[in-house]
Amino acid sequence: MSDFIRDLAIPDVKVIRPVKHGDHRGYFSEVYNREALAKVGFSLDFVQDNQSFSQAPWTLRGLHFQIGPFAQAKLIRVLQGSVYDVAVDLREGSPTKGRWVSVMLSATTGNQILIPSGFAHGILTLEPDTEVLYKVTTHYSPPHDKGLAWDDPDLAIDWPLEGNAPILSDRDTKNPRYADMAPTFGPDGAGLTP
């Protein structure tokens, strides 16, 4: 599936670059292969695909996660445009708890990010008409769907806004700060019982 899998500064978060086979017609790429991921230590059972479209650049979605039995691992890729993708470690006992990592994802490069459960996730679109597709390991559950403030000064995420104000949903203007969160995930990313 991939000729390139690398760790980010938080090693449990991976960047994957699937191989593209191109010719005069275009290209073919195997963008997901369960067996190939299992060979590098990821036995994930994805149950749902989600797709988002953002018309304007600087659209910020996040930071989102699901708690309890609906904690989600995610495999994210961009179909059109580009995004700045962020994962924040929320796992109790993790040496990187409260830290974040980021990567630029684009349709041109075809790279992906694999985020295990136990992380909050957010994206900032960098181009107009950006489409993102991501696989998740549990179904969407509104009562378990939570958020974290995208602009939390304790996290100090360096969003590349270039002086622009982000376009946010009403929900994402009201997410709590990291310091106000109760413990949410165990060290393995499994959701803790509230």
Query: What is the token pair recorded at 162?
Result: 């270039």
> pLDDT band at 193, cuts 50/70/90?
low
Q: Tokens 């010719």 — which residue?
A: 23
Q: Give the active site residue among 64, 84, 121, 144.
A: 64
Indicate which residue of 84, 134, 144, 178 is catalytic.
134
pLDDT tens for 50-73 read 999 999 999 999 999 999 899 999
Binning pLDDT at 50, 70 and 90, where does residue 1 land? very low
Could you give the angle at the alpha carbon of 12 between the alpha carbons of 135 and 103, nearest 5°? 70
Is the per-residue pLDDT at 131 higher than 50?
Answer: yes
So where are the chain's domains?
A: 2-180
**Helix intervals (H) in the chain:** 34-39
| 64 in catalytic set | yes
User: Letter for the amino acid at 154?
Assistant: D
Residue 139 is among the residues annotated as catalytic for this protein? no
In this prediction, residue 3 carries a pLDDT of 56
- 93-130 residue pLDDT tens: 999 999 999 999 999 999 999 999 999 999 999 999 99
CATH class of the domain comprising 2-180: mainly beta
* pTM summary value: 0.93
Confidence of residue 194 (pLDDT cuts 50, 70, 90): low
